[in-house]
Structures are given as structure tokens and as C-alpha cells.
Amino acid sequence: MTTLTREEQPEVIDLDRVTIRFAGDSGDGMQITGTQFTRTSAVFGNDISTVPDIPAEIRAPQGSLPGVSAFQVSFSSYDIFTPGDVPDALVAMNPAALKVHLADLPKGGILVCNTDEFNESNLKKAGYTSNPLDDGSLSAYRVFPVPIGTMNSRALKDVDLTAPLKDRSKNMFALGLMFWMYSRPLETTIKFNEQYYGRRNPVVAEANIKSLKAGYNYGETTEVFAQHYHVPKAKLPAGLYRNITGNEATAMGFLTASKLADRPLYYGSYPITPASDILHALAAFKRFGVKTFQAEDEIAAIGTAIGASFGGLLGMTGTSGPGIALKSEAIGLAVSVELPLVIIDVQRSGPSTGIPTKTEQGDLLQCMFGRNSAAPVAIVAPATSSDCFYMAIEAWRIAIKYRTPVIFLSDLYLGVGSEPWLIPNYGDLEKMDANFATDPETFKRYARDPETLAPPWAIPGTPGLEHRVGGLEKQNITGNVNYEAENHDLMTKLRAEKIERIANDIPDLEVFGDEGGGELLVLGWGSTYGVNRTAVQRSRTAGLSVSQAHLRYLNPFPKNLGDVLSRFKKVLIPENNLGQLQLLVRGRYLVDAVGLHRVTGRPFTISEVEVKIREMLG
């Protein structure tokens, strides 16, 4: 199959960016459909960005509103930072999918509906009193009604499968249709089906491939669609690329850190959405010597990690917000015993169980302060899905060098979202040194490195260094249990000072836009990077004096943050919470930072930030 070119098909229209949303019942295979579209576009050479939208209820009834699952992919001929605010095209596999997602489709947008599912019972389940395909309510959109189920079963009439199994391939029909509409080749998906189902279930592979081709041919041969579109390749930096989700990048980053430090990785974790993917990924790395431990609860998970770190491995645990709450006491213990430890928090909506499959940035203050007494830890926050790889390595560099717990603050949107990743060479990455204590003559458990204030890492098995650690306050230098007033004051300050000194060891905050300062700085952290960048870029193009800075180190902050803030007349901090970084920045730098707060379970849209920028520069 070759890509259709402009010469062959005069009705092809060139676009530089397209965003498509596939929506259907959770049984309709929308995630696979979206992923396949993504792979194809990535291999084709577009820049891509994706985000899945998975129902919160695992077994919501078929055809119901809570059962709708969606996947959005944006692909372009230039650098993109977000999976797009609003889709240009929506594929709705049933009425419920239409009901949930139509509000996001701009007027004039392309709407492909699977007419087979628009029957009375499904319409009722979705809360429609009349069929929107007939009642004129969709007249503002470019609607393409396609009997996807019927067409699909016709295409598969010679395949040896039961009717319900054949029906499962209908997502491939829809995918094929969209491939035609956006001039994508079919090879990647054909190859995927052959490899994935080929051996185990060749009939399914055959059905999927037939459906895919049928969908494509339907687009080509029917006259339903007057036009189709072409998005040329993006100009990315040269090199070898692959598509990567944040959680994949996180797992690989931590594995890489362990190799760079030449210490085995140990991951204690309790299953929790959306962090479990990291446990799965690391559990598959046994050939690299990674030890994973599925613990009985969140507390045990971090306990085993602390035990492993005590033993000289790179002990890690990972969870989401509610799990961090359970781990608080143990994080405090790790602060007290000053052992290297990394804690992953893939944030999700809260409080309590909240909405486990939706994103949020609500845990910053919990990670900063959520422990008894003064128990400071370092916090790093990746800005994009592929940045998870580098910040994972950073987390371990800091943890090892400063003998401290480090929180790796990711979120659901970063974790499940994907983007192209310029593949690094392992040999180009900087090595780390665990630097264990070995000399009984000089060993003192709380004697500190004069520069970093880090105490030694002395592991069992080292002759002559037998010693006891624990959560009781310890005497400075010797590490004996000590309750004296002045010693406690000193130790509390030393622990805090040690974390502060990490600021000497991290890169300065960079400004995108006007280095020297200007009217407005948009400051962010974590997954708002792409939205902020795009909003700032567009506003600058419109002539506004606005710049962007993005924090990847949240504790301590980069040393020049105060200086950067002082160069701008106004500061805007968009966050998917009620103003947590805003509180820290205002408190620390006495800057009248303005917040933009949305807690919808979804990332900001670019226009939300743009509108705020315009309002502030009004």
C-alpha cells in the first residue's frame, strides 16, 4: 500500500496539524485504534502527541455514558507539545460516545458516526430522545454516517469466525477509513496484526487486516467523502526516534540509572492506577537484574524499598496520590536515616479515591510537606513524556549523591500520554558512583561531606562498619540515639540545609522568550509544559510580551528562580490544582503571582491559557 499523493488524488488537501479523537464503548477497542494511528503517523515522520481517556468504571454497561473510552492523537508537520485542545475529527462508534465527546468538536468539525449502533436502545442509554443523525441537531458539523458494523461484517463474510468475533474487528474498519482520510499507509498496522495475533490467532489477524483494508477502500471508492488530507513530515532534530509513553520512559529511565550507578534496581510497589504500568514494565526487566516486589500494601512497598536501599541497592517505590498518603511515615523514616530512595507519584484526581483515571496536579504540597515535623525531600517533576526518562536518571543522581529520598512527581497525563523520543546512546550518559563507606577507621554514620552535607552510605556486609540506624533522633556525627535539645535543633537544620544545597547542583531555570524580562512570565511545572509553551508561542506571534519558564526541580527550586521572577512585571502560574506552586512561589519570593486553576481531570486547553494571558496583558 502506498501513500496517496497529491498528483494521483487531486482532492487531497495539505494540513500542517490534525487532531483526531476515536470514541466508543470500552469494548470497542478505541485504545488500540488510537495507538495504531499514532504508530503509523510516527513512523510516517510526523511529530505526534497523544492522550487516552479511559472510563473510570471498569465494567460500565455496554453503550452507557460511563462506559465510553476515547483516544486522542495529534500529528503535525512541526514540533508539537500537546495532543491538541479540540479534535478536528471525531469518530463516534455509538450514541454514548457522541453524547460524551460532541461538546469538544468545534463547529464545522468532521464527525464520523457508526450508524449501526444508533438504534433505539442505544439512543435511550445515551439519553437521546430522538436520533441526532436524523433530527438536524448535528447540522453544524460535517457528518459522515457510515454503517461500520454492517460494512465490516460484509467484508468478513468468508472469514471463519463467529459473528460477535467478527464484530470486534470493526474498530479496524474505522481505523482504515481514517487512514484513508488522512493519507496514512497501512503497513505498520498490518505488521502489528501479523506479529501480535499472527501465531496465536491467525484468523483474528486475517479478520483485522481485511477490515482495515475494507475501511480504507470504503473511503477510496464511495463518494461519501469529498476530500481527504495530507500532513507532511515534521522537521525534528536528526536521529533515531521511537514513540514512548511517560510510564515507559520512566521505567527505562530508572533502569538506566541503575546501570549508570552499577547497582541493581529494586522496586517495591502495590498495584494502583495509574502507576501500575511502571511495575509491569520493571517486572519485565528481570534480565537486567531488576528485582520487583509486589507488596501487600503501600506501606510495605516503601518498607521493602528502604530495606533494599539499606542493603545498597537502588530501592524505589511507586504509587499515586492516595499511596503517597500511606507512605508518609516511611518517607519520614528515610529522611531520618538519610538513605537514597526514590518515590514515584503518578498523580491522579483526588481527594481520596477521586477519579482514578483522570489527571491532576494535586500532590505537590503533599510531597513537599506531607510528613510529621520537618522532613524535607528533594522533588523533581518531568515536563513531558520523554522527559520522564531524563528526570528518572536525575532523581537517582540526587538521591545517591545526597543520601536522600527523592520524589519523582509525574501525573496520569504524562504517564499515559506519548510523544516521539530521540533515542539516546547509553554510552553518552553520565555514570554515577554509589561511593559506599568501607573504612572502619574513619566511619561515622552522621559525619557529613562538607560540600553536600551527605552522610556516608554504609551497607551490611562491610566488615567493621556495624552500626544501628533508626527513626529515633541521632547524635550528630556518631549516630547514637540522642534526645538533647541542641543536637535536635542542629540535626533538623542540617537535614534541611542538605536539601537546600542540591540547588548548587541543578541547572538554572531557562526562559523561553525574553531572557531579559518583560511584561508577563508563565511559570509552570509538570505536564502543563506543552500547553504553556504553545499558548506562549501563539501569544508571542500575536505580538504580546510574554515568556515561559518551566520548573523541573520543585525542591529545591533552581537558584535563579527568584531572579527570573524579578525580571517580569507579572507572573501567571497555570496549575491543575487550586494554586499549590503559586502558594510556594508567593511565600518564598514575595511575588504576587496570579494563578489559573482548573481541576477537570483533563489537561488545560491551550486556549484557556491563551485567554488568561490576553486578559492579564489586556
Partner 1 sequence: MVTIDRNGSDNIQVLSRKDFVSDQEVRWCPGCGDYSILAQTQRVMPDLGIPRENIVFISGIGCSSRLPYYMNTYGFHSIHGRAPTIASGLKTARPELSVWVITGDGDALSIGGNHILHVIRRNVDLQIVLHNNEIYGLTKGQYSPTSPLSKVTYSSPMGSIDWPLRPLAVALGAEATFVARSLDIDPHHMVDMLGRAHEHRGASFVEIYQNCNIYNDGAFEEFTAKDVRADRMLFLKHGEPMIFGKAEDKGIRLNGLKPEVVELGKDGVTVKDILIHDETIEDPTIAFMLSRMDYPEYPVPVGVIRAVQRPTYNDLMDQQLAKAVETQGEGNLDELFRQGDTWQVEEE
Q: Which of residues 305-324 bind partner 1 (CB under 8 A)?
A: 305-308, 310-313, 315
CA distance linking residue 77 with residue 234, whole number of Å = 4
Nearer to partner 1, 324 or 584 (CB): 324
Pick the binder of partner 1 from 17, 142, 291, 538 (CB under 8 A): 291
Q: How far is the CB of 396 from partner 1 (least distance, A)?
A: 15
Angle at 510 between CA 505 and CA 515, to 5 degrees: 135
Task: Please tell me whether residue 286 binds partner 1 under the rule CB under 8 A.
Answer: yes
Give least dist CB 77 to partner 1, A.
13
Nearer to partner 1, 351 or 471 (CB): 471
Which of 4, 15, 43, 165 is in the footprint of partner 1 by CB under 8 A? 43
Q: Among residues 4, 15, 45, 159, which is the contact residue for partner 1, using CB under 8 A?
A: 45
Q: For partner 1, which stretch binds (CB under 8 A), given 41-49, 50-58, 93-101, 350-358?
A: 41-49
Considering only residues 406-435, where is the footprint of partner 1 by CB under 8 A? Answer: 423-427
Q: Cα torsion for 409, 345, 431, 282, to the nearest 10°?
A: -150
For residue 507, state whether it binds partner 1 (rule: CB under 8 A): no
Question: CA nearest 57: which of 271, 351, 275, 357?
Answer: 357
Closer of 445 and 570 to partner 1 (Cβ): 445
Q: Does 468 bind partner 1 (CB under 8 A)?
A: yes
Distance CA 548, CA 537 (A): 9
Report DSSP state, residue 287: G
Minimum Å gap between C-beta 520 and partner 1 is 34
Cβ closest to partner 1, residue 269 vs residue 532: 269
Q: Measured from the CB atom, is 148 or 395 closer to partner 1?
A: 395
Under 8 Å CB-to-CB from 110, ≥6 apart: which residues? 88, 89, 90, 141, 142, 144, 181
Cell output for 276 = 501500575
The residues pairing with 124 across neighbouring beta strands, listed in sequence order, are none
17, 444, 467, 567: which one contacts partner 1 (CB under 8 A)? 467
Residues 476-505 that bind partner 1 (CB under 8 A): 480-481
Dist. CA 382–CA 609, nearest whole Å: 20
> Of 95-134, which residues contact partner 1 (CB under 8 A)?
none
Q: Which of 12, 469, 503, 599 binds partner 1 (CB under 8 A)?
A: 469
Q: Which is nearer to partner 1, 306 or 572 (CB)?
A: 306
What is the number of other CB atoms lying within 10 angstroms of the CB of residue 428?
6
Kindly state the smallest distance separating residue 302's Cβ from partner 1, in Å.
8
Cα Dmax for the chain: 87
Residues 133-172: x where in contact with partner 1 by CB under 8 A, - otherwise, as a string? ----------------------------------------
- Shortest Å, Cβ 169 to partner 1: 22
Contact status, residue 42 vs residue 103, Cβ threshold 8 Å: no
Residue found by looking up cell 528518572 in the block: 392
303 binds partner 1 (CB under 8 A): yes
How far, in Å, CA of 156 to CA of 169, rounded?
Answer: 9
Q: Collapsing DSSP states into helix, strand and coil, what is residue 266?
A: strand
- The site that binds partner 1 (CB under 8 A) totals a number of residues, namely 71
CB 89 within 8 A of CB 18: yes
Nearest to 299 by CA among 320, 270, 272, 277: 270
In whole angstroms, the minimum distance from the beta carbon of 343 to partner 1 comes to 14
Distance CA 240, CA 226 (A): 37
Using the minimum distance from each CB to partner 1, give the nearer residue, 459 or 494.
459
Query: Which residue in 11, 57, 466, 510 binds partner 1 (CB under 8 A)?
Result: 466
From the list 22, 285, 446, 525, which residue makes contact with partner 1 (rule: CB under 8 A)? 285
Of these, 98, 330, 432, 511, which contacts partner 1 (CB under 8 A)? 330
Q: How far is the CB of 303 from partner 1 (least distance, A)?
A: 3
Site membership for partner 1, residue 288 (CB under 8 A): yes
CB closer to partner 1 out of 217 and 480? 480
Position among 95, 176, 268, 323 found at the interface with partner 1 (CB under 8 A) = 268
C-beta of residue 46 within 8 angstroms of C-beta of residue 77: yes
Q: How far is the CB of 307 from partner 1 (least distance, A)?
A: 3
What cell does 216 get? 480504507
Q: What is the 3-state secondary structure (H, E, C) of 284-305?
A: CCHHHCCEEEECCCHHHHHHHH
Answer yes or no whether residue 278 interacts with partner 1 by CB under 8 A.
Answer: no
Preceding amide of 351 cis, omega within 30: yes
Residues 555-574 that bind partner 1 (CB under 8 A): none
Q: DSSP secondary-structure letter at 226?
A: S
Q: How many CB atoms lie within 10 A of CB 579?
A: 17
Taking the least distance from each CB to partner 1, the nearer of 438 and 560 is 438
Task: Report residue 399: phi and psi, to 5°.
Answer: -60, -45
Place of cell 516521539: 420
What are 615's three cell numbers?
486578559
Tell me: does residue 289 bind partner 1 (CB under 8 A): yes
* Residues between 179 and 198 that touch partner 1 (CB under 8 A): 188
Candidates 126, 209, 282, 337; binder of partner 1 (CB under 8 A) is: 337
Q: Which of 122, 341, 523, 206 shows the shortest CA–CA distance to 113?
A: 122
Minimum distance from residue 236 beta carbon to partner 1 (Å):
5
Q: Which residues in 227-256 contact partner 1 (CB under 8 A)?
A: 235-243, 252, 255-256
Hey, is 43 helix, strand or coil? Answer: helix
* Residue 74 C-beta: closest distance to partner 1, Å: 18
190: number of Cβ within 10 Å:
16
